Chain A
Amino acid sequence: MPPESPFLKALEGANFSFTARPEPVAGDLRMSWGIAVVLLSLFHSRGKKASFLKLQFLAHSIRTEDSREQVHAVLRGERKTSELQVRVEPWLNRAVAFAHGLKYVDVSKGKTITLTPLGQDVAAAIDATSDVLHHERTFLTNVAKRATENIVTRIWRMETLL
């Protein structure tokens, strides 16, 4: 803004007061999005169950177009596992905790998470609603079954896949 701007002049010497407003939250930090992604991830995994490690891997890679494409490239063998940086998402643990509280999942030995029959119903209903989580669903149908616990562990340890 140029120094002679009338707008700037008007601001000089003015009194300001601030009012607190509700905070915006990123879409992927909303409860329903997180819980829905956890349910769908389990729904598309073999045996409707997965380890925390796998859920973290899926939850991290599902978030953006780039990260989704990276995972595809690694599974296709076009990229090395070391190029994939998997981060631990704190929201995922909370989503699992809420899903557990809502009786959608069982957590056995603090490691393996399994869909309960109620959770399966909810997940199936979300999966059948074609206008929500479109990209996420496409990603999960392709990746969730192929990314076995074994492969996820190797990616996590940056070992070669083939």
Chain B
Amino acid sequence: MQALLYVLGMEKMLSPSREVPVPHALTTFLMRDDESELAITNSFVELEIENGAGTIVTVRRPIKEAGIDTRLVTVWFGPMLTEPSKTAASRQFFVRDPGAFKREDGFLHFLEAFIGWDMPVVRKYEGPEGKLPLETVFPLFWVEQKRGWSTIPAAIPTYMRVRDVQKRAVEFILDLDVHKLELQRQRLKERIEDNARNWTSVIDEMMRIARRAGGTLTGLPPRPTADTDSLERWTISLVQNDETVVIETLLAALRARVAVLAEAKVPQVGETADALTAELEELGKEIDARNQKRIEVHKARQLKEADIASLERRIAQLGEDLQKNQDVQRLQRYAGTAGNLTPDQCPTCEQSLVDALISQEVLEAVMPIEDNIEYVRSQLKMFEDILQREQAEQRRLEDLGAVATTEINQLYTRVRTIRSDLLGPSSAPSAAVVEERVRIEARIRDLEALIASLADTANRLHTLSAEFAELLNAGRLIPSDKMTEDDKHKLDALTGSMRELAEAFGFTTFAPKDLTIDEDSYRPQKEGYEIGFETSASDAIRLKWAYQLGLLELARKYATNHPGLLLLDEPRQQSSSKVSFGQLLEHAAKHRGAQQQVIVSTSEDIDTLSPILARLECKRIIFNGYVLQPVQPQTNA
């Protein structure tokens, strides 16, 4: 039976080791019926299999053949064992090496397609998602003699790093929608998170653009929303003469001023000399005031910087203290296993102690370590919040400083123009008036460009918002129940079959009608407690028969991924009584003719078997002596 697993490349179902999992009779020496030994010179396995579509292939894998690697599997696309004279196309595949399941030339890849399966994508403990390996599903219908009987429902290998591998395997065989739903939910969650990340980055970018232009952006929803109206309500405000002005108001004022300047003719310097002198004086005062302001801002910024540095120091210290407190908690918890590190009484004089290495008289009561950790955490949280606020204030001050500098520069430019006007001939046109108009026009252009560039970026929010609405919709479409109706029917049917079969097999630990199947682990349970081998060992075996035959029965009534094959190698484990063994065989025989096949191998006494088999309609192959026999040398008759 192990050779059958071997030829199908399923040895990893048994263990992760790289050994050939077949008995010595196939690798080193063979016992003949007369108990003499014969060394093995050449051995291989050939198996003919037929799938649901009626395609027959013959698979051959060497065990011991000079010059041929055991990782090589040959497949003939025809029934080469039943009709040896036939010829058929053949192809070679590899097994056991990485890629045997993923790559075109891998035999497991071929086997998956041959059975007609499409293995689901599952999450792994590390690395990317991958397909559910065939080795994790086979144990649900292929009970191998050595380890196969040790667990219910099946000895599914766990070393393949698949998360919740038992669940995934049963879900696949039953073709439940649970896992699909779970995957859908997970993917949806990831997409929503992605959407939120993109949203934040767009908002951040817009904030940056606005800040670079000396403005602040308000009114945008900080988190994704499906409400597109709220996306239109953003405004930029700029600081103008110490006041915050909305950009549209500012633009209107500037446009009005340009219109006035454009209407009026450019005056000569002589006409405006007095006004220019007065303006010059005014400008001087204004520059002083602005400089004063800039110095104040600068001082405030220096103070903030010192504050921030001290806050950061404080946070780092708190972080260290938190770490130490957590260490203390762990050390205390583990005291008692290795040794006590926090005595509550002095080991010498038996006086009671408080948990601190400072003078005991100083302290009234010491906070328990759990509270202390919470206390440090809340402090940490508070200081982190303060830091954030201070950093925001710092940025605001930086903006104010930058605005003051630009304003001072503009004032100086104006001063220079007026001065050159005043020094020039009095009949020349006033450059100061022209300069003002050019300056204002340039400012209008800058502001318009700012609005346009922000609107461009804001358009991306519309796309994200549409995507968000779509994701919310998709979320509503996924049923909130873990299982679909169909899933529940299947599970109920499986529970029913399992109860009936358990009863028929003589399960006695408790009433079979109390058996249920856990919706999370799909293991049999009673009143919420999983049943394993803590029941009597023979009852556990009966339960396993019932579960696995139940899976096969289910496949007749519902669409599942069960291959319709059940292989039980030595099912009479733990000396389960003859009655129940007979029952097992009877129930197994019922699957005949329903496009299903149950293969049972046993070394049971022929006298016991014969009366049972006589009642059944089945194909029996009886080996009198060892199953493996040397190949007779061909004689040319």
- A interface residue numbers (CB < 8 A to B): 20-36, 64-65, 90-91, 94-95, 98, 101-104, 118, 121-122, 125-126, 129, 131-133, 135
Contact = CB atoms under 8 A, between A and B. Distances in A.
Given A26-B321, A133-B327, A20 B364 contact: yes
Contacts of A34: 357
Interface string B316-333: 110011111111101110
B382 to A, nearest CB: 14
A132 B331 CA distance: 7
Contacts of B334: 125, 129, 132
A23 B363 contact: yes
Interface string B337-376: 1111111001110000101111000011111110110011
4 closest pairs, A vs B, by CB?
A27-B324, A101-B347, A125-B338, A91-B357
Nearest to A131: B330
Given A22-B368, A25-B355, A125-B334, 13 more contacts: A23-B366, A24-B367, A24-B376, A26-B321, A26-B324, A27-B320, A31-B357, A33-B324, A64-B320, A65-B320, A95-B357, A101-B343, A121-B339
Contacts of A102: 339-340, 343, 347
10 contacts: A30-B355, A30-B357, A32-B341, A36-B331, A94-B357, A101-B346, A102-B339, A126-B338, A132-B331, A133-B327
B342 A31 contact: yes
Contacts of A122: 338-339, 341
Contact of B358 (A33, A35, A90, A133): A90
A29 B342 CA distance: 12
B472 to A, nearest CB: 40
A89 to B, nearest CB: 9
B364 A98 contact: no
Interface string B462-488: 000000000000000000000000000
A121 B341 CA distance: 13
A22 B371 contact: yes
Nearest to B347: A101
Contact of A25 (B322, B346, B372): B372
B341 A29 contact: no
B371 to A, nearest CB: 7
B335 interface: yes
B356 A25 contact: yes
Contacts of B338: 121-122, 125-126
A94 B335 CA distance: 19
B496 to A, nearest CB: 48
A129 B371 CA distance: 24
B362 to A, nearest CB: 9
Contact of B328 (A27, A118, A135): A27
Contact of A27 (B321, B347, B364, B368): B321
Contacts of B355: 25, 30-32
B342 A32 contact: yes
A33 B331 contact: yes
Contacts of A35: 341
A24 B366 CA distance: 6
A32 B366 contact: no
Interface in B357-408: 357-358, 363-369, 371-372, 375-376
A25 B347 contact: no
**Range of interface residues on chain B?**
35 or more
Nearest to B376: A24
B331 A22 contact: no
Given A34-B357, A91-B357, A132-B330, A28 B324 contact: yes
Interface of B: 316-317, 320-328, 330-332, 334-335, 337-343, 346-348, 353, 355-358, 363-369, 371-372, 375-376
Contacts of B326: 27
Contacts of A27: 320-328, 372, 376
A32 B368 contact: no
A22 B343 contact: no
B372 A24 contact: yes
Contacts of B330: 129, 131-132
Nearest to A136: B327
**Listed residue (B322, B358, B368, B376) with the most chain A CB atoms within 10 angstroms of its CB:** B358
Given A22-B367, A131-B330, A91 B325 contact: no
Contact of B343 (A21, A31, A121, A125): A31
A132 B465 CA distance: 46
A29 B337 contact: no
A31 B341 contact: yes
A91 B358 contact: yes
Contact of B327 (A33, A64, A121): A33
Contact of A32 (B335, B371, B375): B335
A23 B341 CA distance: 20
A82 B594 CA distance: 91
Contacts of B348: 101
A7 B321 CA distance: 33
A65 B327 CA distance: 16
Given A20-B364, A23-B363, A91-B358, A30 B369 contact: yes
A135 B322 CA distance: 13
A95 B342 CA distance: 10
Nearest to B365: A22
Nearest to A122: B339
**Listed residue (B317, B328, B366) with the most chain A CB atoms within 10 angstroms of its CB:** B328
A129 B372 CA distance: 23
A33 B328 contact: yes
A22 B366 contact: yes
Contacts of A36: 327, 331, 341
Contacts of A121: 338-339
Nearest to A66: B316
Nearest to A25: B356
A106 to B, nearest CB: 14
A28 B325 CA distance: 8
Contact of B367 (A25, A126, A129, A132): A25
A149 to B, nearest CB: 24
B356 A29 contact: yes
Contacts of B364: 20, 22-23
Contact of A30 (B317, B328, B347, B365): B328
Nearest to A121: B338
A110 B2 CA distance: 72
